């Protein structure tokens, strides 16, 4: 049987406000446990929440960026459940009147199609603390530093039909929130966490199947694997004539396994009701216009500009515009390098490969866009060969030297492009290889001749101590050998 896969996402995005959503504690990551939890965060008796205006501003910016309606009257509810890292015994969240209403995001797919994913809504809420189960001799530790960190929970419509589409959407959303500067995007620290709702239905059917929710995926790779895993699990059950149970599942990425966390029957009755400690928040036109004025260039607009301004193709423009930091790096390199396409090639080639190999982010790169641009200039004006350029890149990366021209000088990487000098070298080398010259000149097949040309390049590069411009050598050779 053929199946349609139906996927909807819920994404928790930690907002990069300096302080928490309802208290003045710092939101910085990585502090000693409970050093960033004040009386409000600890839910001490009598303490009260005071909303952080910046959290609302960021949420509105997000709403504008995903073409959404902004909730003009925004309310908070209490979601009641007991858990040790939930200090008040309820989470302050939004249910009936969220700050961001329906919107959409357009996602570029690898097959060059564009997919529109609708946003159902996004609401503001507070994060919980963390339970630490190790190192406490059978007891659990509670760290409330994270408790009260502002989140927006983005809920999509079930508009995605494959792991690839879901991941592409997730990456796009990551790109939007980091471009907006409302989230640091650091998934390893939990700044963005994905819950994936998956169901299957017979191909072409209009009726949705029973869904499961896989919670707390914190990398794109795990997300892709978890979807593949869950689709396969559901397919196996359905094809054996079984039924899918509506449940919440946890995925273990290291083992590629998932297990049931709770079924619908075991689900909490959260007893939502309006939080009486917080008045409804009215978002007026001035607030929205202020938020709009803070919007930076968003990925879609940036992509269009990269195509227009730098003459990049759709694919390159999409890749370089998605991540705000990478886009800035590219623009710096292009400005210094004067050859945007060449800069784009180097960023997607050597630079990206090196970042990946060392598991570094663009922000952690030891070289700057300007340095890469300087190198691009020297490649374009034939000062260095591409082989030489790789050596320069290496020296920049390791911090051996920070100046491109100084490295070229010091390492003797400057190409010889003086035609007279190169011709003399060609004459000398050809004179020493009469048999090969004769063989070449007797060969009729142009493909084979081209290949044989390579046989002269080695000795030529040797004769020029690696500094001869290979492109010019090639031209001279062809001329001297008579086509």
Partner 1 sequence: MHNKSVAELSRELESGKISSVELTQQFLDRLKQEDGKYNSFITITEERALADAKTADEMRAAGKATAWTGVPFAHKDIFCTNGVRTTCGSKMLENFVPPYDATVTERFRQAGAVCLGKTNMDEFAMGSSNESSHFGAVTNPWGLASGEKRVPGGSSGGSAAAVAARLVPAATATDTGGSIRQPAALCGVTGLKPTYGRVSRYGMIAFASSLDQGGTMARTAEDNALMLNVMAGFDPKDSTSIDREVPDYTATLNEPLKGLKIGLPKEYFTDQLSPAMEEQVRNAVKEYEKLGATVKEVSLPNAKLAIAAYYVIAPAEASANLSRFDGVRYGYRCEDPKDLMDMYTRTRAEGFGTEVKRRILVGTYALSHGYYDAYYLKAQKVRRLIQQDFANAFKEVDVLMSPTSPSPAFIQGEKTNDPVTMYLEDIFTIAINLAGLPAMSVPAGFVDGLPVGLQIIGDYFAEARLLNAAHQFQQVTDWHQREPK
Q: Does residue number 285 form part of the binding site for partner 1 (CB under 8 A)? A: no
Query: 456 is written with which tokens?
Result: 């002269």
Q: Which is nearer to partner 1, 221 or 271 (CB)?
A: 271
Q: Which is nearer to partner 1, 46 or 446 (CB)?
A: 46
Q: Which is nearer to partner 1, 241 or 276 (CB)?
A: 276
Q: Does residue number 241 form part of the binding site for partner 1 (CB under 8 A)? A: no
Q: Which is nearer to partner 1, 89 or 454 (CB)?
A: 89
**Single residue of 35, 84, 236, 424 touching partner 1 by CB under 8 A:** 84
Q: Which is nearer to partner 1, 82 or 255 (CB)?
A: 82
Q: Please, are residues 70 and 283 in contact by the beta-carbon 8 Å criterion?
A: yes
d(CA 288, CA 459): 69
CB of 211 to partner 1, least distance (A): 20
Q: Does residue number 282 form part of the binding site for partner 1 (CB under 8 A)? A: no
Spell out the residues 6+ positions from residue 383 whose beta carbon is closer than 8 angstroms to its own.
Answer: 408, 414, 415
Q: Does residue number 242 form part of the binding site for partner 1 (CB under 8 A)? A: no
Query: 342 is written with which tokens?
Result: 């060449």
d(CA 344, CA 351): 10
CB of 94 to partner 1, least distance (A): 15
- How many beta carbons lie within 10 A of that of residue 347, not counting itself? 23
Task: Using the rule CB under 8 A, give the single segment among 277-285, 390-398, 400-408, 455-463 that binds partner 1.
Answer: 277-285
Q: Which is nearer to partner 1, 34 or 258 (CB)?
A: 34
β pairing state of 247-252 and 212-217: parallel
In the stretch 317-356, what mask flags binding to partner 1 with x, by CB under 8 A? ----------------------------------------
Q: Does residue number 280 form part of the binding site for partner 1 (CB under 8 A)? A: no
**Single residue of 18, 28, 35, 39 touching partner 1 by CB under 8 A:** 39
Q: Which is nearer to partner 1, 140 or 189 (CB)?
A: 140
Q: Residue 376: which H helix or E strand, with range?
A: helix 369-380
Q: Residue 178: which H helix or E strand, with range?
A: helix 163-180
Q: Does residue number 48 form part of the binding site for partner 1 (CB under 8 A)? A: yes
- Of 11, 277, 14, which is closest to residue 145 (Cα–Cα)? 14
Q: Scan residues 135-154 and list those touching partner 1 (CB under 8 A).
A: 142
Q: Please, are residues 255 and 220 in contact by the beta-carbon 8 Å criterion?
A: no
Q: Does residue number 8 form part of the binding site for partner 1 (CB under 8 A)? A: no
3-state secondary structure of 285: helix
Q: Does residue number 46 form part of the binding site for partner 1 (CB under 8 A)? A: yes
Task: Using the rule CB under 8 A, give the single segment among 6-14, 276-284, 408-416, 424-432 that binds partner 1.
Answer: 276-284
- Of 462, 458, 476, 469, which is closest to residue 382 (Cα–Cα)? 469
**Single residue of 4, 33, 50, 452 touching partner 1 by CB under 8 A:** 50
CB of 31 to partner 1, least distance (A): 18
Q: Which is nearer to partner 1, 87 or 318 (CB)?
A: 87
d(CA 337, CA 370): 8
**397 burial class (0-12, 13-18, 19+ CB within 10 angstroms)?**
middle
d(CA 264, CA 279): 32
Q: Which is nearer to partner 1, 52 or 415 (CB)?
A: 52
β pairing state of 247-252 and 257-263: antiparallel
CB of 88 to partner 1, least distance (A): 5
3-state secondary structure of 51: coil
- Of 389, 398, 319, which is closest to residue 352 (Cα–Cα)? 319
**Single residue of 18, 67, 73, 89 touching partner 1 by CB under 8 A:** 89
Q: Which residues bind partner 1 (CB under 8 A)?
A: 39, 42-51, 78, 80, 82, 84, 87-90, 142, 269, 271-273, 276-279
């Amino acid at each position: 049987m053929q199946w349609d896969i139906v996927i909807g996402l819920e994404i928790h995005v930690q907002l990069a406000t300096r302080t928490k959503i309802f208290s003045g504690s710092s939101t910085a990551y990585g502090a000693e446990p409970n050093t960033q939890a004040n009386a409000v965060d600890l839910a001490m008796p009598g303490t009260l929440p005071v909303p952080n205006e910046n959290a609302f501003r960021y949420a509105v910016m997000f709403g504008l960026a995903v073409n959404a309606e902004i909730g003009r009257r925004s309310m908070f509810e209490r979601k009641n459940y007991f858990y040790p890292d939930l200090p008040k015994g309820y989470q302050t969240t939004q249910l009936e009147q969220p700050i961001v209403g329906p919107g959409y995001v357009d996602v570029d797919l690898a097959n060059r199609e564009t997919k529109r994913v609708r946003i159902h809504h996004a609401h503001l809420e507070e994060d919980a603390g963390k339970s630490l189960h190790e190192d406490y001799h059978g007891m659990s530790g509670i760290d409330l530093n994270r408790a009260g960190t502002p989140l927006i929970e983005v809920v999509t419509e079930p508009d995605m039909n494959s792991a690839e589409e879901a991941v592409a959407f997730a990456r796009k959303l990551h790109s939007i929130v980091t471009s907006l500067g409302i989230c640091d995007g650091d998934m390893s620290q939990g700044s963005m966490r994905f819950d994936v709702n998956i169901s299957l239905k017979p191909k072409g059917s209009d009726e949705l199947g029973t869904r499961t929710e896989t919670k707390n995926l914190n990398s794109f790779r795990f997300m892709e694997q978890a979807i593949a895993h869950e689709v396969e699990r559901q397919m196996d059950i359905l094809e054996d004539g079984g039924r899918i149970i509506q449940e919440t599942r946890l995925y273990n990425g290291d083992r590629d396994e998932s297990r049931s966390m709770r079924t619908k029957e075991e689900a909490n009755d959260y007893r939502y009701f309006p939080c009486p400690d917080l008045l409804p928040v009215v978002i007026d036109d001035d607030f929205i216009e202020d938020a709009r004025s803070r919007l930076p260039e968003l990925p879609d607009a940036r992509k269009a500009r990269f195509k227009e301004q730098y003459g990049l193709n759709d694919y390159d423009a999409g890749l370089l515009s998605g991540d705000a930091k990478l886009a800035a790096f590219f623009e710096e390199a292009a400005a210094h390098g004067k050859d945007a396409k060449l800069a784009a090639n180097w960023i997607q080639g050597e630079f990206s490969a090196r970042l990946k190999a060392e598991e570094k982010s663009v922000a952690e790169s030891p070289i700057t866009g300007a340095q890469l641009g300087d190198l691009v200039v020297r490649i374009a004006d034939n000062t260095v060969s591409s082989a030489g350029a790789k050596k320069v890149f290496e020296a920049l990366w390791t911090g051996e030297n920070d100046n491109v021209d100084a490295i070229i000088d010091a390492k003797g990487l400057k190409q010889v492009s003086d035609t007279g000098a190169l011709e003399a070298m060609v004459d000398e080398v050809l004179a020493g290889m009469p048999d090969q010259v004769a063989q070449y000149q007797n060969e009729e097949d142009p493909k084979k001749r081209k290949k044989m040309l390579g046989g002269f390049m080695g000795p030529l590069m040797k004769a020029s101590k690696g500094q001869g411009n290979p492109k010019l050598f090639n031209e001279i050779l062809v001329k001297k050998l008579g086509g």
